[in-house]
């Protein structure tokens, strides 16, 4: 019996020693926990502030992304409308261009015909003034002969010559020269077309 008590006392002492070591470890762990809590408590506001800033920046980026997507969609729709309008204008302009060309050609032929008639009448009047027979000359139609050009070719010389008394032979010769000048002028205009 005394040996068993002795062994039990030894075991109790060993357990007490282990218990003391565990208590020391527990105290050290508690001290480390307190230090960690203090460090966390000290740094937590900065972490919270950083988290709030990051969250705000994230919301701002999301808002900008949403606006850019909306703007991109608007530009895409606008581009589609412009393309459709351009195609519509091109389709409508094609027949209108053809109609304008036809009208221009018809107007040009009418103007050429009127100019031809006007020149023919003017030549006949000049030939009547000369007193000879009326001779018509066929030339290519000239697009336009303005009154200013006619006055430049004929009117000024006739006015200056009418101031001087001349006989019928000189007048006929002068008219014949003017008619030849007119034919040469018309030929030049025809060649320039």
User: What are the pLDDT digits (tens) for 134-151?
Assistant: 444 444 444 334 444 444
Burial class (CB in 10 A: 0-12, 13-18, 19+), 102: exposed
Domain ranges of the chain: 118-192
Map tokens 């050609």 to a residue: 105
Residue among 171, 192, 180 at smallest CA distance from 135: 180
CA 181 vs. chain centroid, Å, equals 53
Spell out the per-residue pLDDT of the chain, length 193, in tens: 677 777 888 888 888 888 999 999 999 999 999 999 998 888 888 888 899 999 999 999 999 999 999 999 989 888 888 888 877 766 665 555 555 555 555 555 666 777 777 777 777 777 777 664 444 444 444 433 444 444 444 444 444 444 444 566 666 676 777 676 666 666 666 555 5
pTM of the predicted structure, to 2 decimals: 0.31
Q: Identify whether the C-beta of residue 179 lies closer than 8 Å to the C-beta of residue 125.
A: no
**Predicted pLDDT of residue 130:** 64
């Amino acid at each position: 019996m005394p040996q068993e008590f002795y062994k039990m006392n030894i075991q109790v002492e060993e357990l007490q020693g282990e218990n003391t070591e565990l208590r020391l470890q527990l105290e050290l762990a508690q001290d480390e926990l307190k230090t960690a809590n203090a460090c966390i408590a000290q740094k937590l506001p900065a972490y919270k502030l950083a988290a709030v800033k990051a969250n705000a920046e994230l919301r701002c980026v999301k808002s900008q992304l949403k606006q850019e997507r909306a703007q991109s969609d608007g530009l895409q729709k606008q581009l589609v409308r412009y393309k459709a309008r351009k195609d519509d204008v091109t389709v409508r302009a094609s027949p209108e261009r053809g109609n304008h060309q036809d009208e221009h050609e018809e107007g040009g032929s009418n103007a050429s015909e009127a100019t031809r008639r006007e020149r023919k009448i003017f030549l006949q009047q000049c030939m009547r003034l000369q007193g000879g027979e009326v001779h018509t000359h066929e030339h290519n139609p000239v697009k336009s002969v303005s009154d200013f050009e006619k006055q430049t070719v004929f009117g000024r010389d006739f006015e200056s010559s009418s101031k001087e008394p001349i006989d019928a032979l000189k007048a006929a010769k002068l008219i014949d020269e003017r008619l030849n000048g007119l034919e040469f002028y018309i030929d030049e205009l025809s060649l320039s077309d």
